[in-house]
Structure 1
Amino acid sequence: MLTPRQRTLAFLTLCTALLAPFPARAAAGPAADTAAARNPVVFVHGYNADPGVWGSLREDLRADGYADSRLFSFGYDTHQSVNEVLSGRLAAYVDQVRQQTGAARVDVVGHSFGSLVSRWYVKYGGGTATVDHWVSLAGPNHGTSTAWACALWDQACRDMTPGSYVVKNLAAGDETPGAVKYATFWSDCDEVVNPDSSVPLSGALNTPVGCLKHNDLLGDDATSAGVRAFLRS
């Protein structure tokens, strides 16, 4: 547990990082294959964010050959419970995407808190049957001490704390269940996810991206290239 002074500093760090402008669009290479052969992609944004954060990666995927009709951004209230509310809403959204596109499976890309929401759906909400690739960008997969700053009044922050009900149950047994392909991308300079080692998962393709701030993974060229290569695997 953090001291009152540490809690205040952590809260200021969390607010500053999550309210900072998101990075500009990254450059993308030529299309590698046709959009018709690709799964729809469902983006799940992080805490205190919205679907607009995915502009850079969406443009890169379009440049790679994805049609807009295959790219979906799940918007939600980030202050609610991962297991009791948000994962179920994501499940309903994925069902809508599958019905709209006729796809049997989707690929899911989550940033930060969105990684917990989507992981709970995969592990406990039937997602092992509907998700093909799952990607976590800077996800607090084993909790982050920074979340103690707002845990007193915010359910989502409590869910992100180390040892929370959500974190413990996601880590129980197999961290990467089913036939889903899992990948994480993590920075050793992440000011929001502490410790940095919280992001990688046993059984996933875990990729260090160097010294990037928490939100910079959303617009980093190399990270984008890594995500796109993984979705093609």
Structure 2
Amino acid sequence: MLPWKRVVSPLAALLLAAAALAVPTATGAHAAGAPSSGWNDYSCKPSAAHPRPVVLVHGTFGNSVDNWLGLAPYLTHRDYCVFSLDYGRLEGVPFFHGLGPIEKSAQQLDVFVDRVLAATGATKADIVGHSQGGMMPRYYLKFLGGADEVNALVGIAPSNHGTTLAGLTNLLPYFPGVGDLLTEATPALAQQVAGSDFLTRLNAGGDTVSGVRYTVIATRYDEVVTPYRSQYLSGPNVRNVLLQDLCPVDLSEHVAIGLIDRIAFHEVANALDPARARPTTCASVFT
């Protein structure tokens, strides 16, 4: 066996394991096919206070329930109509989604938003996504006409400019075949490596499109989308937020910021309703 082949499998496994940190393990409720509680209610009609439905977009290895066990109830309790989808499923891989080609995932998001708008009667939706789910909608906005259907995109630890996984992907050129393995087995992982053809196309000509408000919520302790500043967007109607600027003692990393961090949730609510925004501080964990 050639020497490099002895390290291909361990390195690929390490890359996959690092990416898997993006979401928690699937719960028994989701594995059993149980519906989400309090959201994905297609009879929900947006209120005058919150006239747009909120579409939640999970991250790599995520799903429509587990990724949102914290944020979805937080928003429904505040009288938002909340919906979430599964996307990017690979054949033979249950429970874990967001692995297929990102272009096709964006098409699935397009169809889902159309369904939500038709059910709620709203003319536009707001999108909140975690990790890949904060970046992938930008393809929908830029190339699939989503800017006509979306008012705001809120990215929680989004992979907007890819990731080096703390520099690990810089080693790929030294291990021939690993990049091809990632592309063939899990296309979305390869597409999220900094400098990929997909990200080059996505970010060419500017990070944003007109008519959409963008918010990025990041943590300096992110160990998956690295460096964390690569998550930020440039352009008009953009607000980049670092959790530790709001609460210096917030230690959330990539998983916690999307799953349980109520300071991040408070900022999501501010981004969805800027006219009623309230200052976010460490005390926001109690609101």
- Band the TM-score falls in, shorter-chain normalisation: 0.7 to 0.9
Measured in 2, the distance between the counterparts of 1:187 and 1:151 equals 27
Q: Is 1:87 equivalent to 2:106 in the alignment?
A: yes
Which of 163, 170, 173 is the equivalent residue of 1:144?
163
User: 1:128 and 1:55 mapped to 2: Cα distance?
Assistant: 28
Q: Does 1:114 align with 2:145?
A: no
Whole-Å separation in 1 of the counterparts to 2:142 and 2:200: 13
Sequence identity percentage: 30
- Distance in 2 (CA, whole Å) between partners of 1:221 and 1:141 is 23
Mean Cα displacement is larger for which, 218-227 or 165-174?
165-174
Asked if the contact 1:80/1:155 (under 8 Å) is kept, the reply is yes
Shift of 1:92: 0.8
Mapped partners of 1:205, 1:103: distance in 2: 25
Aligned residue-pair number: 216
1:6-46: CA deviation from partner (whole Å, max 9, x where unpaired): 76544433334544689xxxxxxxxxxx8334210000000
Q: Could you tell me how far apart the structure 2 residues matched to 1:10 and 1:212 are?
A: 21
The verdict on how the C-alpha distance between 1:111 and 1:12 changes in structure 2, with shifts beyond 3 A counting, is: same
Structure with bigger RCO (C-alpha 8 Å, 6+ apart)? 1
C-alpha distance 17-230 of structure 1, shift in aligned 2 (>3 A): closer
Q: Pick the aligned partner of 1:217 from 236, 257, 281.
A: 257
1:44 aligns with 2:57: yes
- Of 159-168 and 222-231, the range deviating more from structure 2: 159-168
Q: Is the aligned partner of 1:171 residue 2:208? A: no
Q: 2:138 & 2:71 partners in 1: Cα distance?
A: 20
2:154 maps to which residue? 135
User: Post-superposition, which runs of at least 4 consecutive aligned residues in structure 1 deviate over 2 A?
Assistant: 3-22, 34-37, 146-153
Q: Is the 8 A contact 1:151 1:161 kept in 2?
A: no
The reply on whether 1:15 has 2:20 as its aligned counterpart is yes
Q: Normalization by structure 1: what TM-score?
A: 0.84
| Contact 2:217–2:242 (CA under 8 A) maintained in structure 1 | yes
Match of 1:35 in 2: 47
Aligned CA distance change for structure 1 residues 127 and 100 (closer, same or farther; 3 Å): same
DSSP-derived class of the 2:182 partner? coil
What's the counterpart of residue 37 of structure 2? none
- Tell me the equivalent position of 1:96: 115
Partner of 1:154: 186
Which residue pairs with 1:184 in the alignment? 216
Answer with 1 or 2: which has the greater Rg. 2
* Contiguous gaps of at least 5 residues in structure 2: 1-6, 28-45, 90-97, 170-177, 245-250, 275-287
The change in CA–CA distance for 1:19 and 1:229 in structure 2 (over 3 A counts) is closer
